[in-house]
Amino acid sequence: MTKISLHQRIFIGMFIGLILGLALNYFADPDSALYVNAIWWLDLLGKTIFVGGLKMIIAPLIFASIVAGISSLPNMGELGNIGGKTMLYYVCTTTIAVAIGVAAVLIIRPGERAASQSIRAERESEIQVYAAAFATDTGEDLTTPAGEAAFRRYISDQEDTAAGSGGFGDKYSRMNTASEQTPGDMLKTEILMKILENPFNALAQSPPNALGVIFFAMLTGLACLALGEQAKPVMTFFQSFNEVMMKITMWMMEVAPVAIGCLIASVVAELGMEALQSLGWYCITVIGGIFVHICVLLILVSTIGGMSPLRFLRGIQDAWLIAFSSTSSAATLPVTIHCVTKKLDVDDKVAEFALPVGATVNMDGTALYEGVAVIFLIQMYGGLADVPIELTAAKTGVIFITAVMASVGAAAVPSAGLITMAIVATAVGLPLYYIFIIFAVDRMLDMFRTSTNVLGDAAGTVIVNRLERKRLDGHADADTP
């Protein structure tokens, strides 16, 4: 019999997981021992063992791959060529992603659909209850500017207390912290301090401080490049260590079909259909925008990268499927490197620099999602007593610019999606507690945006590889005796 390929086994695992998840969601009582035990085992095999195992090798893989990639370059000028083109690509595609998302949400207008307006009506009733309580507690006149401002503070205090004490308490705390930071604070604490952190601490953190690991790895690679023959043993060690990490990755891929089936089953069992029904148009807008952005990426791969979209998708499908199910572009990094180097013939020097950096700072899907989410919430709640916001051209421009900058600047922060969402919402005056309405479908949409992040990183390596191919081939020929 012909051996079944990895991606075919993953598809089979996803299908079985989907069926199992639907069965649990429809036929099992969420409070029953059967349901609780099933979710426990699914999470153990999927999230704990498989995703945890991939995360275990992220830090050493990033360090080894960057050092190996930089030290194998003929000179520092080549790093500038590869790095410059890579960063230009990342900035451009992130900007395109946000533009597509903003256009999609303004055209489809999911916040003005009937389902969304029914949620708004429920919120209006809650506001009336707050108004009665505010009048009783304070005796202030709601018709005056001072009274309106005091009422907004009153609602905010009540909502902050409820959100902080609920199941989202930890997330809400991180969002509030992020919203209070100035751009200068973020530059200092979330970028510079992380870059200059002790490299051993950066490697040991869970999740690892990717910016710190990348920066120290680049310094190490550059030092090896400057020393030349003196650093040959160090170069050889990291190149061999990089191969060892890739071999470990391939061993882990053997259990991927079962683990991914467990991840899908857990998500489907817990999500259900109620949230999708109430936020259906919002989901359609996000997924539709992501689909358009993927088409743009495939056009760039074809025109600039010189590779057929079909070959590209076939080559990257294993990484895409793992990113889709694990919702972690960092955890998918080992598989992404293997796919682009072994199946798409991307030079190791390009992949080992561009992909670790991309997994940290290039978040196309996340950036698109942030713009859609904030505009959707303004469409749905704008004009309420605590959301005195009109979606003007100026406000839309602020959302666009903030989403682009936040996705790059905050991508290395844990819970990056929450941090960027808080930054964008605060920029236009949207109260943070409204963000929780979309958390019901966030896990599902995270699958789409994470897989798009990985697809964008892989597309970038193909494009930069073609632009640098002649130069890299020329140096390889010169090194051949």
Range of the domain at 127: 6-479
How many of the other CB atoms lie within 10 Å of CB of 477? 8
Whether 462 is in a domain gets the answer yes
Q: Is the pLDDT of residue 393 over 50?
A: yes
Task: Please give the pLDDT value at position 455.
Answer: 94
User: Which residue's structure tokens are 């609780």?
Assistant: 36
For the stretch 204-235, pLDDT in tens is 776 667 677 878 888 888 898 888 888 889 98
For the stretch 7-48, pLDDT in tens is 788 888 888 988 998 888 888 888 888 888 998 999 888 888
Provide the number of structural domains found in the chain.
Answer: 1
Task: Please give the pLDDT value at position 26.
Answer: 82
Residues 237 and 224: their CA atoms lie apart, in Å, by: 12
Averaged confidence pLDDT in the chain: 82
Is residue 421 within 8 Å of residue 168, measured between CB atoms? no
Task: Please give the pLDDT value at position 88.
Answer: 92
Going by C-alpha positions, the residue among 376, 320, 332, 354 that lies closest to residue 461 is 354
Structure tokens at 44: 């153990």
DSSP 8-state code for residue 4: P
Whether 123 is in a domain gets the answer yes
Structure tokens at 426: 């605060």
Mean pLDDT across the stretch 152-179?
65
Task: Please give the pLDDT value at position 28.
Answer: 82
Whether 309 is in a domain gets the answer yes
Whether 81 is in a domain gets the answer yes
Q: Is the pLDDT of residue 425 over 60?
A: yes
Going by C-alpha positions, the residue among 108, 133, 101, 29 that lies closest to residue 403 is 101
Mean pLDDT across the stretch 181-189?
62
Position with higher pLDDT, 470 vs 102: 102
Is residue 134 within 8 Å of residue 140, measured between CB atoms? yes
Handedness of CA 213, 219, 225, 230 (dihedral sign): negative
For the stretch 95-148, pLDDT in tens is 999 999 999 999 999 988 888 888 888 888 988 888 888 888 887 777 788 888
Residues 331 and 249: their CA atoms lie apart, in Å, by: 11
Whether 391 is in a domain gets the answer yes
Whether 1 is in a domain gets the answer no
Whether 74 is in a domain gets the answer yes
Is residue 7 within 8 Å of residue 335, measured between CB atoms? no
Whether 49 is in a domain gets the answer yes
For the stretch 300-333, pLDDT in tens is 999 999 999 999 999 999 899 888 888 777 778 8
Task: Please give the pLDDT value at position 339.
Answer: 92
Supply the CATH number for residue 410's domain: 1.10.3860.10
